Amino acid sequence: MNVSIVGSGYVGTTIAACLADLGHDVINVEIDKEIVDSINAGEAPIHESGLEERIADYAGTNLRATTEYDEVRDTDVTFLCLPTPQTDDGSLDLAIMRAGAESLGRTLESKDGDHLVVVKSTVLPGTTEDVVAPILEGESGTSIGDGIDIAMNPEFLRMGTAVTDFLEPDKIVLGTAFDDAAATLRELYAPILEQENTDLVETDIREAELIKYANNAFLAAKVSLVNELGNIAAEYDTDAYEVLEAVGLDDRISDRFMRSGLGWGGSCFPKDVNALRAGAREQGYDPELLDAVVAVNDTQPRRLVDLLADHFHLEGARIAVLGLSFKPGTDDVRKSRALDVIDHLGERGATVVAYDPVAIENVRPDYPSVEYAESAEEALEGADGAVVATDWPEFDELSFAGMARSVVIDGRRIDVDESALEVYEGLTW
């Protein structure tokens, strides 16, 4: 199938490379020329396991990128993978979606034959039919259902494991209004749907939109609950990890997303929970539980810095921050809890020396006063204290040698030999 993908960020690039891997002819339409050049040169514009080799394999054959929307006309299906950020008040900001839909609609005005537009971005119920569809109709002069069809297909991949999550998902959700669109998408995803562990959910567009928010709200709430239980466990001087491991044996609860600590960050949970809260309020519902989910998450970085401050004055202290990305396996630092930790340390007058295996360059421009080290060992050298902010596997078994005082506060439960340390404390255990 000929597929175009508008927006080539974390999702758009990943699904383009994966759809090429499934044998489709794929073109990425992206306004950032550097990303376009990178894909066409066979190089991944982001750090994501399994992406580099796929882009290298398919670039120039069945995977291409362009800044020109015109090339969409040569395809049958377009996925909109544009950002859906939050506004200052936390609500869903659709400005980029609107602009993308306008450009796409104008392009489709001169297309011969039918075209399917699939909203992949995370959007609140009603957005696809009440915002995107009218723009497409207005700009193209073509009616939905009569030349242009529309569908909503939310994405559940995680960063760091994006390629395998996309190729081996638990479920594929197809929100459609017309049978043809569902059939086209079933055909597109056929090799994935044939897998035993992938369920197909076919539903209406509004339900598909809400499934995505409900999924993320559930997971964020689970981690916040786990963090609240972890905070309580620490007060009782008990180990939350032992407690929650036992709780997770109940298969109604499951052992996944049970890691307590610094809390959830990233480009999606924070903005999606906020958009759902704002959307609910707009609908006249007060989402008290979701408010609490965010409040618990917001307290964890400060609690971690408080633990450090129990051992010495932070004013003038040299603190190593290990890990900057919002989770291991990615260079994405959007809403990373590590940045909140750095902010709290800075407010209390500490000098921060940070290390991350891949994310430093994404932090440096916004944090010029932080010192950056080329290894964890270099960051720890001469430090008065250390904070583990991201659970990169390379931090396991770290010796923490060379510190002025080996005071280590762990926000992520890495594997540490505590016996060699002056102080080792976990945030929630």
Ligand X SMILES: O=C(O)[C@H]1O[C@H](OP(=O)(O)OP(=O)(O)OC[C@H]2O[C@@H](n3ccc(=O)[nH]c3=O)[C@H](O)[C@@H]2O)[C@H](O)[C@@H](O)[C@@H]1O
Ligand Y SMILES: NC(=O)C1=CN([C@@H]2O[C@H](COP(=O)(O)OP(=O)(O)OC[C@H]3O[C@@H](n4cnc5c(N)ncnc54)[C@H](O)[C@@H]3O)[C@@H](O)[C@H]2O)C=CC1
Residue numbers in the known binding site for substrate are 212, 257-261, 265, 327
**Distance separating alpha carbons of residues 139 and 99, to the nearest angstrom:** 11
- DSSP per residue, 103-170: HHHHHHTT--S-EEEEE-S---TTHIIIIIHHHHHHHH--EETBEEEEEE------TTSHHHHHHS-S
Residues in the chain: 429
- Do residues 291 and 257 lie in contact, with contact meaning Cβ atoms separated by under 8 Å? no
Q: Tell which positions 19-48 bind ligand Y, by CB under 6 A.
A: 29-32, 35
- Do residues 29 and 52 lie in contact, with contact meaning Cβ atoms separated by under 8 Å? no
State the CB neighbour count (10 A cutoff) for residue 396.
11
- DSSP per residue, 162-207: HHHHHHS-SEEEEEESSHHHHHHHHHHTHHHHTSTT-EEEEE-HHH
Residue 7, contacted partner among ligand Y, ligand X, none, CB below 5-8 A by kind: ligand Y
In the list 38, 267, 300, 428, the residue contacting ligand Y (rule: CB under 6 A) is 267
Nearer to ligand X, 265 or 385 (CB): 265
- Do residues 408 and 304 lie in contact, with contact meaning Cβ atoms separated by under 8 Å? no
Q: Is 268 a catalytic residue?
A: yes
In the list 19, 133, 157, 290, the residue contacting ligand X (rule: CB under 6 A) is 157
**Distance separating alpha carbons of residues 163 and 381, to the nearest angstrom:** 36
Nearer to ligand Y, 41 or 99 (CB): 99
Nearer to ligand X, 66 or 224 (CB): 224
Which candidate in 97, 132, 223, 268 is catalytic?
268
Minimum Å gap between C-beta 89 and ligand X is 21
Nearer to ligand X, 377 or 425 (CB): 425
The number of residues that bind ligand X (CB under 6 A) is 21
- Is 7 near ligand X (CB under 6 A)? no
- Do residues 195 and 225 lie in contact, with contact meaning Cβ atoms separated by under 8 Å? no
- Is 219 near ligand Y (CB under 6 A)? no
- Is 159 near ligand X (CB under 6 A)? yes
In the list 268, 308, 350, 379, the residue contacting ligand X (rule: CB under 6 A) is 268
CA-closest candidate to residue 37, choices 71, 76, 6, 67: 67
Span from 54-62, 126-134, 243-251, 256-264 in contact with ligand X (CB under 6 A): 256-264
With H, G, I as helix, E, B as strand and everything else as coil, classify residue 370.
coil
**Distance separating alpha carbons of residues 33 and 30, to the nearest angstrom:** 7
Q: Tell which positions 101-130 bind ligand X, by CB under 6 A.
A: 122
In the list 3, 4, 5, 7, the residue contacting ligand Y (rule: CB under 6 A) is 7
Q: Which residues bind ligand X (CB under 6 A)?
A: 122, 155-159, 216, 219, 223, 257-259, 261, 263-266, 268-269, 326-327
Catalytic residues: 268
Q: Which residues bind ligand Y (CB under 6 A)?
A: 6-12, 29-32, 35, 81-84, 96, 99-100, 103, 121-122, 155, 157, 159, 267-268
